[in-house]
Amino acid sequence: MLKNENLCTKLKKRKFVVTAEISTPKGVDLTKTIEEARKLKGIVDALNITDCPMANMRMSPIAVAHLLQDHLNIEAIFHLTCRDRNLIGLQSELLGAYALGVRNILALTGDDPSRGDTPQAKGVYDVDSIGLLKIISAFNRGYDYNGNKLDSPTEFCAGTTANPNDLRDEALEKLKVKIEAGAEFIQTQPVYDEEILFKFIEKIKNFNVPLLIGILPLKSYKMAVNLNEKVPGIDIPEKVLERLKDGGREEGINIAVEFIKRIRSEVAGIHIMPLGSTNVVLEIISRVDDLVCDFAENNVQMN
């Protein structure tokens, strides 16, 4: 069982939260995953454990979340998609996760299986992320999806996603519905333009839900162009692209650090997506002035 103050408690106390994404292995060897996670112990508040992202088969995020919490005493947020499980399976997974001590969930609809490495698989989608949030909310009240009483209620902390680049009324209304369904925090897709982000924050200020901003460090100009062209929902401004033409990875880190400094006072925290490079997370945190003291203190404690 985790010994530290949990994620939702920190958010409710308005503590600035830092989370980072860890990928699950395509196989049974967790050695690399555990070692990468160990580097972040005491540095981040929680690790996000992905659920077969882009519909590519990987180890169960619930198993990985439990093992990381058990081995490292570092809090996890497991992603759960509606793509791979029917209503019975979703509820069964939730009960199993709770029994294993995993309390934080990011509720996702899930990518279409045709995009992944098993394109012949069929998506289930008995419910979408809104339906999953309703299930989690019902569990926390002590009931299953059909209103049957559970032996005891759960105490899950459920989050949802949002895209600050999408300010359409339909997108904002859907986010509102997800919050009404039980989302206790919002984790955004990557955003690179603080003006757009601040417009988004203004639009959702009445939702009164902690907002964790997605930070995806750019490694090169080529990567940035590829994201702009091929990944729906990502919008990288021309001024950022220009800086990457000559700067490469180091400039990508600079851009992330500067962005975090500009938005820090307006949000509940950040969520870093390092794409498998844990050292990037350490570099960014160590260079954000407001987080340097915590970073240094935690490293002393770890050593």
Give the pLDDT mean for 177-184: 98
Confidence of residue 161 (pLDDT cuts 50, 70, 90): very high
Structural domain containing residue 71: 7-302
Mention every residue, 6+ apart, whose C-beta is less than 8 A from residue 240: 192, 193, 218, 224, 255
The verdict on residue 134 lying in a domain is yes
Rounded Cα distance, 239 and 234, in Å: 15
Rounded Cα distance, 282 and 285, in Å: 5
Give the pLDDT mean for 19-27: 94
Mention every residue, 6+ apart, whose C-beta is less than 8 A from residue 170: none
The verdict on residue 260 lying in a domain is yes
Rounded Cα distance, 142 and 233, in Å: 36
The verdict on residue 1 lying in a domain is no
| Average pLDDT score, the chain | 92
The verdict on residue 269 lying in a domain is yes
Phi, psi of 28 (to 5 degrees): -110, -5
Helix (H, G, I), strand (E, B), or coil: what is residue 141?
helix
Rounded Cα distance, 175 and 193, in Å: 20
Rounded Cα distance, 49 and 21, in Å: 6
Q: What percent of the chain has pLDDT over 70?
A: 94
| Model pTM score | 0.92
pLDDT at 232: 83
Is the per-residue pLDDT at 254 higher than 70? yes
Tell me the β-bridge partners of 17.
269
Rounded Cα distance, 297 and 55, in Å: 39
Mention every residue, 6+ apart, whose C-beta is less than 8 A from residue 52: 24, 58, 81, 83, 84, 110, 116
Give which of 205, 291, 220 is closest to 18, Cα–Cα: 291
Of 102-106, 126-130, 177-181, 241-245, the least confident: 241-245
Helix axes 87-99, 61-72, angle to 10 degrees: 10
The verdict on residue 86 lying in a domain is yes
Tokens 């882009």 locate to 54
Confidence of residue 231 (pLDDT cuts 50, 70, 90): confident
Give which of 57, 52, 102 is closest to 78, Cα–Cα: 102
- What is the total count of domains within the chain? 1
Mention every residue, 6+ apart, whose C-beta is less than 8 A from residue 154: 94, 95, 98, 136, 139, 140
Model confidence pLDDT, tens digit, residues 57-89: 999 999 999 999 999 999 999 999 999 999 999
Confidence of residue 233 (pLDDT cuts 50, 70, 90): confident
One DSSP character per residue, 202-242 reads HHHGGG---EEEEE-----HHHHHHHHHHSTT----HHHHH
CATH number where 15 lies: 3.20.20.220
Give the pLDDT mean for 108-116: 94
Contact between 43 and 298 under an 8 Å Cβ cutoff? The reply is yes
The verdict on residue 2 lying in a domain is no
The verdict on residue 80 lying in a domain is yes
Q: What percent of the chain has pLDDT over 90?
A: 88
Contact between 135 and 94 under an 8 Å Cβ cutoff? The reply is yes
